[in-house]
């Protein structure tokens, strides 16, 4: 059996075409079969009723379509949707769909858990379980598209569970699947990879010719402040990561979670501006989602606004994002951790919750 959804579209097409030729099938069958992978996806080949029954059965045996089981679905009053997917081996991952006007941004996971242990992230607190395959990463987009074919995701951000650059081989393939015209057909500038700065694979990502977006999970402008928040600082020093970013040919976004009393002083904003300016970077200021780190406190609203104003006075393009999904378990890894430890989903979350 071949995991056809883990192959790039070009390889998948050639693989199916060769299989059809071996069976003596007419060549036009590839035009009926191939779009069912990503463009008009089906849960199983049995649903492709424009194909003969015996061919569908043979496809199910040769190229079974890996799917995920929706374990929990939460819908926030602001329209944010959280999905907890159960995988074939019983592990679970999350995706978050954020609608905003015509844009439908899906935040996908690249690993089950995460080994990096960032103190403000629920995923980091659960540890690392395993890497996801391309079929499991891109499959999150596929599953959401199948739920509402008229409204597939328009943007994808690798900001869910896991560090994408620690699963580079699968993420590399996934980027091709999502971007390729015969795959999901999502424009490169609508695909954003977020990383803490895994230097060897950051260079590989930078070498790709497409205009994929890069976001650095920064959260502190100095090693002294960053180290206690992000243990990865001990291996990949901030100064080296910033030097690597200067070689990146595309605009970089700096992601910065504001944590009360830890990284939200005006002096810290000045230091952040000094980093952002030479990179011509955009700064996303993010309120700490209380569900991700119950022992940390979000910055007060007034502090966050003052921090944003300070950056703008330095000429930095900065935006204070509003928290989405505060009434559901929308923090990265929060729902997976809650379900894993047997926590009951709060009653208010059952309005619009599908299980």
State the catalytic residues.
Answer: 94, 332
Cα(335)–Cα(340) distance, integer angstroms: 8
User: Who's near 92: CB < 8 A, 6+ residues apart?
Assistant: 71, 84, 85, 86, 112, 336, 339, 340
Burial class of residue 73 in the structure, from the number of CB atoms within 10 Å of its CB (0-12 exposed, 13-18 middle, 19+ buried): middle
Looking at the chain, how many residues does it have? 355
Residue 237 and residue 227 in contact, taking contact as beta carbons nearer than 8 Å: no
Cα(169)–Cα(208) distance, integer angstroms: 13
Q: What is the dihedral of CA 346, 348, 352, 354, to 10 degrees?
A: 20
Residue 122 in tokens = 């629920």
**Where do the DSSP E strands lie in the chain?**
69-75, 81-86, 92-100, 103-107, 111-113, 128-131, 155-158, 191-195, 213-217, 252-258, 282-287, 318-320
Positive or negative CA dihedral for 320, 321, 326, 330? negative
Residue 281 and residue 251 in contact, taking contact as beta carbons nearer than 8 Å: yes
Q: What are phi and psi of 286, to 5 degrees?
A: -120, 125
Percent helix, strand and coil across the chain, each to the nearest 5: 40, 20, 40
Q: Are strands 103-107 and 92-100 parallel, antiparallel or unpaired?
A: antiparallel
């Amino acid at each position: 059996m071949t995991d056809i959804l883990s192959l790039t579209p070009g390889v998948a097409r050639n693989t199916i075409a060769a299989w059809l030729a071996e069976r003596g099938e007419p060549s036009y069958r590839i035009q009926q079969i191939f779009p069912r992978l990503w463009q008009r996806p089906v849960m199983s080949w049995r649903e492709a009723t424009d194909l003969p029954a015996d061919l569908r059965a043979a496809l199910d045996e040769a190229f079974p379509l890996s799917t995920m089981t929706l374990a929990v679905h939460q819908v926030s009053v602001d329209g944010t949707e959280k999905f907890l997917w159960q995988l074939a081996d019983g592990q679970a991952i999350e995706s978050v769909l954020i609608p905003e006007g015509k844009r439908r941004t899906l935040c996908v996971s690249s690993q089950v858990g995460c080994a990096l242990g960032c103190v403000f992230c629920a995923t980091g607190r659960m540890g690392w379980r395993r890497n996801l395959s391309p079929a499991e990463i891109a499959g999150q987009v596929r599953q959401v598209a199948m739920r509402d074919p008229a409204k597939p995701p328009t943007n994808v951000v690798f900001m869910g569970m896991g560090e994408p650059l620690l699963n580079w081989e699968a993420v590399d393939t996934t980027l091709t699947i999502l971007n390729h015209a015969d795959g999901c057909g999502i424009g490169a500038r609508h695909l954003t990879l977020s990383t803490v700065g895994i230097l060897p694979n950051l260079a590989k990502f930078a070498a790709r010719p497409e205009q994929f977006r890069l976001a650095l999970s920064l959260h502190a402008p100095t090693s002294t402040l960053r180290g206690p928040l992000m243990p990865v600082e001990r291996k990949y020093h901030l100064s080296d990561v910033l030097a690597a970013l200067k070689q990146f040919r595309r605009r970089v976004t700096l992601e910065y979670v504001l944590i009360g009393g830890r990284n939200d002083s005006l002096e810290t904003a000045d230091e952040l501006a000094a980093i952002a300016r030479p990179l011509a970077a955009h700064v996303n200021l993010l309120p700490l989602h209380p569900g991700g780190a119950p022992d940390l406190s979000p910055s007060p609203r007034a502090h966050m606004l003052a921090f944003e104003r300070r950056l703008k006075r330095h000429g930095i393009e900065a935006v204070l994002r509003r928290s989405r999904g505060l009434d559901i378990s929308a923090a990265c890894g929060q729902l997976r951790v809650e379900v894993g430890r047997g926590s009951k989903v709060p009653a208010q979350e059952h309005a619009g919750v599908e299980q």
